[in-house]
Amino acid sequence: MSEPTLAAVDGVTRTYGGVPVLDGVSLSVEAGVTAVVGPNGSGKSTLLGILSGAVEPTAGSVRYPEGGPRAGSEKHVGYLPQRVPFRDGFTARETLGFYAALAGGDPDAALAGVGLSDAAGKRVGALSGGMRRLLGIAQATLGDPDVVVLDEPTSGLDPEMRERAFRAAARAGDDAAVVVSSHDLDLVDAHADAVVVLRRGRVAAAGARDRLLDDHGVDGVAELYRAVAGGAEPPASPAESESADDGEGGRDDGEVHVTGVSER
């Protein structure tokens, strides 16, 4: 029996200056971890921005058919953009306390969930890059959202911290639909339940990871990527993707968007 659909993208197109970045994208998102992969500029950040509500589609829609955040539920969509301008002078606990006042949830429990309990009293400016990304994941999961959207949560991190951040994201998928973009295909292989491969703004493949591997006769997500992404090679290092999708026009206006709370 399949899991219920928590978010459905129906015929979504997004253009910038008349140029389509996403073109007729449709997909369903279920509970667990869905990884969005694709070449630089393929539309990953734009798709995640639309799923979160931070970017409006030019055409098409996003629905939450199982009583999700836009179907009468009080739960919101958690969202971690590529760059989160947390205030350096606030402690980690104070930072999450601010967001908890908007979205609900327990800041200390959220910190514990990503392994940052010992850093609760540290100021954000004193946290490492990896710890700031973990803090961002904690922020995105506050209030027990039905859908959590994480845009490159492991970008620019060393291998150990990438693994730690992806594990934290995967744990959120126990009770929610977690949609995460990533260039680290080994981590996608290890943690993703479903995979969406984008190519030139369209869905080249989408579905349960194991089924996609069987359908394409490949042994892993890296081989799947090469098989369906038009021969495009993944970046040699996940660090290369830190600003990979800047040209897609994703939201980066110096504010943190909390869907269902922030005013547009």
Nearest residue to 249 via CA among 9, 8, 19, 10: 19
Average pLDDT value for residue range 41-70: 86
Average pLDDT value for residue range 244-249: 44
Q: Is the separation of the CB atoms in 233 and 48 below 8 Å? A: no
Query: According to the model, what pLDDT value does residue 66 have?
Result: 58
pLDDT band at 175 (very low <50, low <70, confident <90, very high): confident
Q: What is the mean pLDDT of the chain?
A: 84
SS3 of 55, please? coil
Whole-structure pTM value: 0.84
Average pLDDT value for residue range 244-258: 43
pLDDT at 227 over 50: yes
Q: Is the separation of the CB atoms in 110 and 134 below 8 Å? A: no
Give 107-133 pLDDT, tens digit per residue: 999 999 899 999 999 999 999 988 999
Per CATH, the number for 5-84+145-154+164-248 is 3.40.50.300
Phi-psi region of 120 (alpha: psi -120 to 50; beta: other; left: phi over 0): alpha
pLDDT band at 165 (very low <50, low <70, confident <90, very high): confident
**Residue boundaries of the structural domains of the chain:** 5-84+145-154+164-248
Query: According to the model, what pLDDT value does residue 148 have?
Result: 94
Query: According to the model, what pLDDT value does residue 155 have?
Result: 82
pLDDT at 73 over 90: no
